[in-house]
Structures are given as structure tokens and as C-alpha cells.
Amino acid sequence: MSIQTIGVIGAGQMGNGIAHVMALAEYNVLLTDVSQAALDAAIEGIAGNLERQVSRGKVAEADMGAALGRINTTLALSDLGATDLVIEAATERESVKQAIFEDLQPHLQPQTILTSNTSSISITRLASRTDRPERFMGFHFMNPVPVMQLVELIRGIATDQPTYDACRAVVDKLGKTAASAEDFPGFIVNRILMPMINEAVYTLYEGVGNVRSIDQSMKLGANHPMGPLELADFIGLDTCLAIMNVLHDGLADTKYRPCPLLTKYVEAGWLGRKTQRGFYDYRGDEPVPTR
């Protein structure tokens, strides 16, 4: 399967990062969202990120202009039916993802590969709701996409070898590294990472340490570049909670039970950096712990 054109669904942080790296790798990209404002912000964000790469000598100025020229936007989901590979990067809710694939299906070419950037939802289950489970797989980028080197490739139970090989070839062309994961809740990265973050929240909840001491302990004691609570704020506490619920529901093991304090922060709308408050308050010049 030769992939030339790529459709990206969702113009948020992940979607615009995926469009960015695909365009740099000389793929023609069609980016869609339900909001024109989101599409405009995505293009502005991609241009800003490319400018930073140019200033650091990582991207040539001519390549930046060419990459931006390869990205087009549309409000019509149906327009993506003409692409060779679709990467869904919408909200991490299964019902939303299923509805998107259902709406897109009548417009697809027979050979189009469907993928999801989901961080934890069953690929087999998503694929089963489409007309092409053999040409469906998980294509999970890490955040921020232009910086992080890993891409998890997850086969559903029906995914065929040509589909896997085609997606693997795309990852290689991006200059990134593919990790093959089986279709179990959380795959590899989040199966390991999210329980660590959840345990850090329990450590806070039980008063073993405060926000600053927990993060300093893991940065200085385990050589982590970011503390687990700082990282949770960066990811989004709503996303962390959603993944923990997928792990808890899918594996039926109490060790994956989301910490009540994580649930409480999400209920308060304190979701981390994107809302200016989470385990840290970002409204001032410096982040201040909220506990």
C-alpha cells in the first residue's frame, strides 16, 4: 500500500502535531475539525513550532515553507474519504470516535486505512464498528509529537499484515521509532505510565508528601525529567482519569482504581496546564503547587 495523502481528524494539540510531522515528511495532509477557529489556531501553532525548529537549526527555512504548503484544512469530514490514510485524533471518548468513523465510512476509498491515535481504547472494538477491520489499527503518537521519538503501533485482532507494514513505513519515513503493542488496555506506555501517575496522586492524597516533594523526589531520586504530578498537568488530568478508568474497567484489577483526589480535581475543572490549574496553579509568573 503506497501512502501519499493523510487525513487528520481533530486540530487540537495531538492533531496539529501529527499534521506538522507528516507535512515535514513530504506527505500531503488534510486536517479537519468541527471548528474553523480550531483549524486556524492549529495552522498558526504549526507555523510557530516550525519557526522554532528553523531557529534551532533543526529544519531548513525552505522545508518549513514547503511543509506549510502541504497542509490543507476542511470543516467537511467527508473530504477525508479521498485520502490514503486517516488518523483520528479527536477527544479520548469511545462514543465520539465511533461516531466519527461511522460518519466518514460512506465516503472512504476501498483502500483507505483507518487508524486512531487513542492512548488506551480497544482498537479491536473501534475497528469492529467499521467496514474494514482488517485495514484498521492504532497509531499512537506521544505528546508533543514533533519532539517525541516513539510511535506505538497497535494491531486489532483483525488487522492484516499489509496494513501494519504500510503504517510502519510511515513511521520510518517520519524518522521516528515504532513500538509494536498488543491490543490490551493502555497498550505499553500508558499501561506503565498512568499507574505511576495515579500512585503519585495517592501519595499526595494520603499525605505522604506534598506536590513539590513528590515531584522533586522523582526528578532527583529517579532521574525523571518531569515529576509525575507536573507530567499529569501537562497531559491533562481528564485524560489521565479517562485512561485509568479504561485500565480499571478493562483489566478488572483494583490496582488500577483511579485515586479519588484525581477524580475530585477533574470534577473541579482543574485539568492542568490547559485550564491554568491542576496540581499546580499556572496563573502567575511561576507554577505554584495547589497542595
User: What pLDDT was estimated at residue 92?
Assistant: 86
Catalytic residue among 88, 94, 152, 230: 152
Residues 6+ apart with CB under 8 A from 38: 11, 12
User: What pLDDT was estimated at residue 1?
Assistant: 72
User: What pLDDT was estimated at residue 50?
Assistant: 97
User: Are 173 and 210 members of one domain?
Assistant: no
User: Are 208 and 165 members of one domain?
Assistant: no
User: What pLDDT was estimated at residue 2?
Assistant: 86
**50 belongs to a structural domain:** yes
- Residues 196-245 have pLDDT tens digits of 999 999 999 999 999 999 999 999 999 999 999 999 999 999 999 999 99
**188 belongs to a structural domain:** no
Mean pLDDT, all residues of the chain: 96
Catalytic residue among 119, 120, 122, 198: 119
User: Are 209 and 174 members of one domain?
Assistant: no
User: What pLDDT was estimated at residue 131?
Assistant: 96
190 tagged catalytic: yes
> How many angstroms separate the CA atoms of 60 and 190, rounded?
34
Q: What is the extent of the structural domain holding 230?
A: 194-289
User: Are 208 and 178 members of one domain?
Assistant: no
User: What pLDDT was estimated at residue 206?
Assistant: 98
Q: Find the Cα–Cα–Cα–Cα dihedral 257, 258, 261, 265, rounded to 10°.
A: -160
**120 belongs to a structural domain:** yes
User: Are 23 and 146 members of one domain?
Assistant: yes
Of 131, 154, 182, the position where a domain reaches its end is: 182
- Residues 263-282 have pLDDT tens digits of 999 999 999 999 999 999 99
Residue 13 labelled as part of a binding site = yes
How sure is the predictor about 132, in pLDDT bands with cuts at 50, 70 and 90?
very high
- Angle (nearest 5°) at CA 76 between 70 and 77: 85
**76 belongs to a structural domain:** yes
Give the type of residue at 24: L
Residue 194 labelled as part of a binding site = no
- Residues 33-67 have pLDDT tens digits of 999 999 999 999 999 999 999 999 999 999 999 99
Is the bond preceding residue 162 a cis peptide, omega within 30 degrees?
no
User: What pLDDT was estimated at residue 266?
Assistant: 98
Q: Which of 153, 182, 151, 288 is nearest to 233 (CA)?
A: 288
Of 152, 182, 212, the position where a domain reaches its end is: 182
Residue 218 labelled as part of a binding site = no
Residue 2 labelled as part of a binding site = no
Residue 14 labelled as part of a binding site = yes
Query: What separation in angstroms does the CA of 171 have from each of 134, 149, 188?
Result: 19, 10, 17
Whole-model pTM: value is: 0.91
Return the sign of the alpha-carbon dihedral for residues 21, 155, 198, 236.
positive
What CATH number does the domain containing 202 carry? Answer: 1.10.1040.10
User: Are 157 and 207 members of one domain?
Assistant: no
Of 126, 155, 182, the position where a domain reaches its end is: 182
User: Are 37 and 142 members of one domain?
Assistant: yes
> How many angstroms separate the CA atoms of 75 and 32, rounded?
6
**187 belongs to a structural domain:** no
User: Are 110 and 212 members of one domain?
Assistant: no
Residue 49 labelled as part of a binding site = no
Catalytic residue among 49, 94, 140, 230: 140
Above pLDDT 90, what percent of the chain? 97
User: Are 165 and 259 members of one domain?
Assistant: no
What CATH number does the domain containing 15 carry? Answer: 3.40.50.720
- Residues 80-92 have pLDDT tens digits of 999 999 999 998 8
Residue 176 labelled as part of a binding site = no
**239 belongs to a structural domain:** yes
User: Are 168 and 201 members of one domain?
Assistant: no
Residue 278 labelled as part of a binding site = no
User: Are 208 and 98 members of one domain?
Assistant: no
| For residue 157, pLDDT beyond 90 | yes
61 tagged catalytic: no
* Number of domain units in the chain: 2
Residue 131 labelled as part of a binding site = no
Q: 3-state secondary structure string, the chain?
A: CCCCEEEEECCCHHHHHHHHHHHHCCCEEEEECCCHHHHHHHHHHHHHHHHHHHHCCCCCHHHHHHHHHCEEEECCHHHHHHCCEEEECCCCCHHHHHHHHHHHHHHCCCCCEEEECCCCCCHHHHHHCCCCHHHEEEEEECCCCCCCCEEEEEECCCCCHHHHHHHHHHHHHHCCEEEEECCCCCCCHHHHHHHHHHHHHHHHHCCCCCHHHHHHHHHHHCCCCCCHHHHHHHHCHHHHHHHHHHHHHHHCCHHHCCCHHHHHHHHCCCCEHHHCECCEECCCCCCEECC
Instruction: With beta carbons less than 8 A apart as the criterion, state whether 146 and 53 touch.
Output: yes
| For residue 162, pLDDT beyond 90 | yes
| For residue 120, pLDDT beyond 90 | no
User: Are 202 and 164 members of one domain?
Assistant: no
Catalytic residue among 116, 190, 198, 230: 190
> How many angstroms separate the CA atoms of 154 and 115, rounded?
9
**189 belongs to a structural domain:** no
How sure is the predictor about 4, in pLDDT bands with cuts at 50, 70 and 90?
very high
Residue 236 labelled as part of a binding site = no
